[in-house]
Structure 1
Amino acid sequence: MRIYGLTGGIASGKSTVSRILRELGAPVLDADVIAREVVEPGTPGLAAVAARFPNVLTADGRLDRAKLGARVFGDATERAALNAIIHPLVGKAFLEKLQALEAQGVERAVYDVPLLIENGLQAGMDGVVLVWTPRALQKARLMTRDGLDEAAAEARLAAQLPLDEKRQHATWIVDNSGELASTRAQVEQVWRAMLARG
């Protein structure tokens, strides 16, 4: 089975590209969705996060993502502690989902991972798609989308490797700075290239 990584940066448009790939028939495993699943109420993941980060649960026992995010985005040590809990759980769940797809006869899948390159996962992929946009546009989109001021947007951008540095690891680059039709045409071309690889 061939596994292709899909990555980008916060507010780069990776979710749009992921959606287009699904529409084209690509099975997409989303690391963010898996990361939410491993911290659902009653899971060992949530218990571990709550133990390490007190006061991050809502009244009904769910993870308060905004509160946790505020604690980890500006603090590399806290972010590393969270990642040490979450990443192994996500990796295990990903492999289980991949095995299920393989059992169904699926020949290729896309793994949508925001921090694919930061975590060194690109080495295990058959190719990497990078969703790219200029940094100024990325910051403007992030501020608009999340209602952030410039300092908060900068802190979130600083928590990830810049898109321009990720380019060297990419097999394909989708420039998402223009119209949706342009992005779609690029994604269709990438999907055809993936299919051609057998």
Structure 2
Amino acid sequence: MKWIGLTGNIASGKTTVANVLREQAIPIIDADQISHQALRIEQDRILNYFGNGILGEDGQIDRRKLGEKVFSSQKSREVLEGILHPLIQKKVAEKRALLESAGYHWAVYDVPLLFENKLEDQFDAILLVIAPDKLRLERLVDRKGLTEEEAKQRMATQMDPEQKKTKAHFVIENDGDVDQLRERVLAWKATIDSKYS
């Protein structure tokens, strides 16, 4: 089974691309979903480092509070990744093995920090979704409810999209509306189907 990495900087439209592929019955493994599970499983270890100040009213880790700490400190980000990544890698390997045994020709691993975590060697191909910085900033402020400063801080923690373009096998530019993005995704899917099916 061919293994394709799907990545893109925050608010680039990567989730929309993944959803279009899901609608086309392409198996998608979602790193964010797995990391949310890992967050719950590793809550005690995370609290030991970050303290109870990151808890929400429900007694669970408030991802926004945790994000404030993690996105403002490289060391905090590294500690969190050190706690979560081994479990995430194990879960992904299990899901990938299930898809392979089910006979899929290709599958997608949706992973936001693919290049930042130096995972590119794990894939047969990488699809990068990019969008103009101005549009990404607007999305973060309007849709995620971040302040402009918080949004810029999060954007700054990721590798520059131009640098990522040099490492990706395929690039989809998300600089139009949803219908244009959908057309581009379906055209890309047709290319992959003809290559890997």
Deviations 1:160-182 (A, max 9, x none): 11212211111111111101111
1:62: Cα distance to partner?
1.7
Q: Which moved more, 1:125-134 or 1:59-68?
A: 59-68
Q: Which residue of 1 aligns with 2:46?
A: 49
Q: Which residue of 2 aligns with 1:166?
A: 164
Alignment of 1:26-105 (within 5 A): 26-40=26-40, 43=41, 45-55=42-52, 56-105=54-103
1:63: Cα distance to partner?
1.5
1:146 aligns with 2:144: yes
Q: Which amino acid aligns with 1:98?
A: R
Q: Which amino acid aligns with 1:163?
A: P
Task: Measure the CA separation in 2 of the matches of 1:136 and 1:59.
Answer: 34
Unaligned runs of 5+ in 1: none
Deviations 1:19-52 (A, max 9, x none): 0011112100000000011122xx2x22221222
Question: How large is the RMSD of aligned CA atoms in angstroms?
Answer: 1.3
Q: Which moved more, 1:45-54 or 1:114-123?
A: 45-54
Task: Measure the CA separation in 1 of the matches of 2:13 and 2:174.
Answer: 6
Task: Measure the CA separation in 1 of the matches of 2:177 and 2:185.
Answer: 13
1:147: Cα distance to partner?
2.2
Q: 3-state SS of the aligned residue for 1:61?
A: coil
Task: Measure the CA separation in 2 of the matches of 1:149 and 1:180.
Answer: 25
Q: Which amino acid aligns with 1:66?
A: R
Unaligned runs of 5+ in 2: none
1:124: Cα distance to partner?
1.2
1:59: Cα distance to partner?
4.5
- Given candidates 186, 189, 195, the residue that maps to 2:187 is 189
Alignment of 1:15-34 (within 5 A): 15-34=15-34
Q: Which amino acid aligns with 1:11?
A: A
Deviations 1:129-155 (A, max 9, x none): 111111121112111112222221110
Q: 3-state SS of the aligned residue for 1:161?
A: coil
Task: Measure the CA separation in 1 of the matches of 2:105 and 2:37.
Answer: 25
Identity of aligned residues (%): 39
Task: Measure the CA separation in 1 of the matches of 2:38 and 2:98.
Answer: 17
For this pair of structures, how many residues does the alignment match? Answer: 195
Task: Measure the CA separation in 2 of the matches of 1:149 and 1:47.
Answer: 29
